[in-house]
Amino acid sequence: MPKKVLADVVVIGGGPAGMAAALGARESGAKIVFLLERGDELGGILNQCIHAGFGVQRFGEELTGPEYAGIYKDRLASSSIEVMTSTLVCEVNRDGYVKAVNRSGIWEISARSVVMAMGCRERTRDMIRIPGTRPSGVFTAGLVQYMVNVDGLLPGKEAVILGSGDIGLIVARRLELEGVRVNAVVEIRDSLSGLVRNYVQCLLDFNIPMLFSHTVTGIRGEDRVEAVKISKVDNSWRPIKGASQWMECDCLLLSVGLIPENELTQRLGIPICPESGGPYIDEKGTTEIPHIFACGNVSSVFDLVDYVSIISERTGSAAALKNPPAPVSFILECGGGVGLVVPQRIRERGEGDIFVRPATALRDGNIRFQRGERIIYEKPISICRPSEMIRIPSRGIEWPHETGKVKIEIDGEPVQGI
C-alpha cells in the first residue's frame, strides 16, 4: 500500500527556495511540513557553486554556495520539518495531493497547501538549433559546473563557451584554473549578459577572448567535438554570410539560458507567464489556485540566491495560513525595455518586493510604473542589464486606490560591449 500521510504544507524541491519556504511555513505555525528533494542532498544549485558570491544581501557576508546552503540545512536539521531526499515528486493534483517516489515506496501526501520550488533547467543545443554533428563534448555550462565541482571530472582540454551569462563566465574561470583552455566566450548580443565584475575576474584576468555579436552555427567531429563554426550576426541575430570561421576545440559549453521547470505546475492547468516562464503569482507566491504556491527559480530565474531566500520565506509563511487570499488589485505588465516582472499580480499594496528584469542593457534612463495615465513610481537608473534584476520594494510605490493594470517601462541609451 502507498504510504498515506496528511500535512499542512508540502514543499517540492529542496534548493534554497524550498528550504526557505519550509522554514517560513514552520515558523508561521504550520505543524506538519514536508520538504521533498529529488537529489540525495538538500541545497539545489548551490551545491555546485563553490565560488563565493552568495549571502551579501541576506547575511551581510560573502559565502560559497555550499556554505550558504549549510546555514539552511542546519536550521532544517534542528526544526521538526520532515525532510525526504532522493524523493521525486511525480504528480500533484488541484486538491493538494502529492505523489512521490523513493526507495521506501510510494508516498501520497495530502496537504492543505503545496509550494512549488523545483528550480529550473538549462536550455540545450537543440532548443537553439545549432546544426552539425552530434559528438561527445557538447554540454550545458551548469552541467559542467557540476561535473567539475562535484565529481571532479573535466569536460575537455580546449573549450568554447556560448553565452556570456554569469554561469558561463564563472565556468570559464573554473576551467582555466584546472588547465582547460577556454578559446573564446561567444555572445550573440552586442553586450554582456552577465555581471561586469564576473567579466573582469573571469575573462580579462585569464586573457579569454570575448566575441560579441557572434554565435555558434556549426559543430564538427564525428565522435568528439573537433571544432565549432563561429559566425558574426546582424542586428536581428541572423548569421552574416561569409563572416564565419571554424575554431578548434574539443568541447562546446552552452550557457544560453535557464527555463523554469514547470511540468508539474502545467499539468495542474495553472497558466504560465510567457515572459517569466513561471506561473503567474502574487507578492506571496500564490498561483491562480489559492492553495498552490510557487517560489524561487520555478517562478522566474533569479540571479541572486539571497532574493530567492527572502521571497521564499514569505511564500512559506503564506502557505501556512488558513485564510483565503485577498482579491487581486493590480496586474503588472511588461512594457518597453522590460523583459519580465515578478510577481505579476498584486493583492496587498505595499507588501514584499517587485523584481524587474531589463530586456536589454541600457544607461542613463528611467524605470516607470504607470496606472493608466498616472505614474505611480519612477526612478532614474544609471545602468541596467538583463543579468541584474531591479528590485523595487512595494512600499515605495504609490499604489492608487483604483485597481487594474499597471504597465512597467524602462528607457535609456543602449549599452554596447561591456
Partner 1 sequence: MKKRYDLIIIGGGVTGCALAWYFSHYDFEIALLEKEMDVCCGVSKANTGIFHSRSYWTPDTLKGELHLRSLSWFPRAKKELDLPVRECGALTVALSAADIGHLREVKARGRCPEAEIMGPIEARKREPNLNKNLKAAYYDPGTVVVSPFQLVCSLAECAALNGVEFHFDQHVRGFDQTSKYIRVLTPENNWEAAFVITAAGLFSSEIARYSRDKISDIRPCRGEYFVLDRDCDGFVNRVLYPAPRERSKGILVCPTPEGNVLAGPNFEPLDRFDSSTTYFGLEEVEKGAHRLTPHIPLHKNIRNFSGLRPTLPDRDFHIFFSNTYPNLLHLVGIESPGLTAAFGIAEYVGEKLHNKGLTLREKNDFRFRKAFPVFREADWKTREALIREDPDWGEIICRCEEVTVAEVKHALRTPPGASTLDGLKRRIRTTAGRCQGSFCLMSIPRLMSEIGNVPYGNMYKEGRKSPLFAGETREECSRSEYAEKGSC
Ligand X SMILES: Cc1cc2nc3c(=O)[nH]c(=O)nc-3n(C[C@H](O)[C@H](O)[C@H](O)COP(=O)(O)OP(=O)(O)OC[C@H]3O[C@@H](n4cnc5c(N)ncnc54)[C@H](O)[C@@H]3O)c2cc1C
Angstrom distance (rounded) from CA 173 to CA 414 = 28
Angstrom distance (rounded) from CA 84 to CA 67 = 21
Copy the grid coordinates of residue 176: 582555466
- Choose between 301 and 320: whose C-beta lies nearer to partner 1: 301
> Do 4 and 110 contact (CB within 8 A), yes or no?
yes
Nearest to 8 by CA among 79, 73, 81, 92: 81
The residue range among 101-109, 280-288, 354-362, 390-398 that interacts with partner 1, by the rule CB under 8 A, is: 101-109
Give the one entry of partner 1, ligand X, none that residue 18 binds, where binding means its C-beta sits below a cut-off of 5 to 8 angstroms depending on kind: ligand X
Angstrom distance (rounded) from CA 410 to CA 314 = 28
Among 6, 60, 80, 103, binds partner 1 (CB under 8 A): 103
Distances (CA, A) of 296 to 79, 117, 203: 21, 6, 29
Among 296, 337, 352, 412, binds ligand X (CB under 6 A): 296
Angstrom distance (rounded) from CA 271 to CA 331 = 15
Least distance to partner 1, CB of residue 100, Å: 10
Among 23, 24, 25, 53, binds ligand X (CB under 6 A): 53
Nearest to 337 by CA among 311, 305, 369: 369
Copy the grid coordinates of residue 192: 554582456
- Choose between 241 and 401: whose C-beta lies nearer to partner 1: 241
> Do 176 and 182 contact (CB within 8 A), yes or no?
yes
- Helix (H/G/I), strand (E/B), else coil: 24: helix
- Choose between 286 and 297: whose C-beta lies nearer to ligand X: 297
- Choose between 225 and 295: whose C-beta lies nearer to partner 1: 225
Least distance to partner 1, CB of residue 222, Å: 8
- Choose between 59 and 146: whose C-beta lies nearer to partner 1: 146
Question: If binding is defined by CB under 8 A, does position 90 make contact with partner 1?
Answer: yes
- Choose between 229 and 385: whose C-beta lies nearer to ligand X: 385
> Do 156 and 250 contact (CB within 8 A), yes or no?
yes
Question: If binding is defined by CB under 8 A, does position 142 make contact with partner 1?
Answer: yes
Among 5, 27, 39, 333, binds ligand X (CB under 6 A): 39
Distances (CA, A) of 219 to 123, 238, 256: 17, 17, 16
Report the DSSP beta bridge partners of residue 65: none
Question: If binding is defined by CB under 8 A, does position 274 make contact with partner 1?
Answer: no
- Choose between 293 and 369: whose C-beta lies nearer to ligand X: 293
Among 31, 94, 157, 405, binds partner 1 (CB under 8 A): 157
- Exposed, middle or buried by CB within 10 Å (0-12, 13-18, 19+), for 294? buried
Give the one entry of partner 1, ligand X, none that residue 93 binds, where binding means its C-beta sits below a cut-off of 5 to 8 angstroms depending on kind: none
Binding mask 86-115 for ligand X (x = CB under 6 A): --xx--------------------------
Question: If binding is defined by CB under 6 A, does position 44 make contact with ligand X?
Answer: yes
DSSP string, 49-86: --SEEE-HHHHSS-EEHHHHHHHHHHHHHTS--EEE-S
Give the one entry of partner 1, ligand X, none that residue 131 binds, where binding means its C-beta sits below a cut-off of 5 to 8 angstroms depending on kind: partner 1
- Choose between 55 and 132: whose C-beta lies nearer to partner 1: 132
Left (φ > 0), alpha (ψ -120 to 50) or beta: where does 99 sit? Answer: beta
Least distance to partner 1, CB of residue 151, Å: 6
Question: If binding is defined by CB under 8 A, does position 297 make contact with partner 1?
Answer: no
- For 269, phi then psi, to 5°, come to 80, 15
Site for partner 1 in 329-388 (CB under 8 A): none
Q: Specify the DSSP class assigned to residue 187.
A: -
Neighbours of 65 (CB within 10 A): 24
Among 9, 180, 270, 308, binds ligand X (CB under 6 A): 308
**Residue 403: what residue type?**
T
**Where do contacts with ligand X occur on this chain (CB under 6 A)?**
12-18, 36-39, 44-46, 49, 53-54, 88-89, 117-119, 142, 145, 166-167, 258, 261, 296-298, 302, 304-305, 308
**Contacting positions for partner 1 (CB under 8 A):** 1-2, 38, 86, 88, 90, 99, 101-106, 121-122, 124-127, 129, 131-136, 139-140, 142-143, 146-148, 150-157, 178-180, 217-220, 222-224, 250-251, 263, 266
